[in-house]
């Protein structure tokens, strides 16, 4: 007899139709020295949506890879800029991680699904895997 166990995956519509589990982290110092470049925010499961608040006087870069938000990497403009004292719109994105840079006081709020983070082949979770840099149109 087969041992098949059904699990929700990235294409499971119901996971995105219900309210998300709350995730909030605040007072993130993402103004890193040039050797570090960016701060990683890892989510315990795949997100349904994300909002980033920038509570600092400096703008904040928000992206999907360290190189995408780093000021130290040539051509690294694959990010969303969140102006000082404001927040991003609600971003309906399937993410397991987010990279931020340039601000000393950032808060991240997300609605999480029950989809395991391993459903996305992402570099921080599975080393050597692919990551969504934004450079390939994602």
Contact 125, 117 (CB under 8 A): yes
Quote the distance between the C-alpha of residue 126 and its chain's center.
Answer: 16
Q: For 84-134, what is each residue's pLDDT tens digit?
A: 999 999 999 988 889 999 899 999 999 999 888 777 665 444 444 445 544
Contact 52, 87 (CB under 8 A): yes
Extents of the domains making up the chain: 18-119
**Is the C-alpha dihedral spanning 135, 93, 72, 118 positive or negative?**
negative
Q: For 74-98, what is each residue's pLDDT tens digit?
A: 666 788 999 999 999 999 998 888 9
pTM of the model: 0.78
Q: Report the topology of domain 18-119.
A: Jelly Rolls (2.60.120)
Give the strands of the sheet with 21-28, arranged side by side: 21-28, 106-116, 45-54, 86-87
């Amino acid at each position: 007899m087969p041992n098949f166990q059904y699990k929700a995956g990235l294409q499971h519509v119901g996971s995105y139709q219900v309210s998300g589990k709350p995730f909030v982290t605040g007072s993130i110092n993402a103004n890193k020295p040039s050797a570090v470049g960016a701060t990683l925010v890892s989510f315990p499961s795949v997100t349904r949506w994300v909002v980033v608040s920038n509570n600092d006087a400096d703008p904040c870069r928000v992206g999907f890879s360290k190189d995408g938000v780093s000021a130290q990497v040539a051509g690294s403009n694959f990010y969303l800029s969140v102006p000082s004292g404001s927040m991003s719109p609600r971003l309906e994105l399937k993410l397991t991680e987010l990279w931020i840079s340039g601000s000393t006081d950032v808060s991240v709020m997300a609605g999480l699904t029950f989809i395991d983070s391993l459903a996305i082949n992402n570099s921080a979770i599975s080393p050597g895997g692919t990551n969504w840099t934004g450079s390939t149109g994602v």
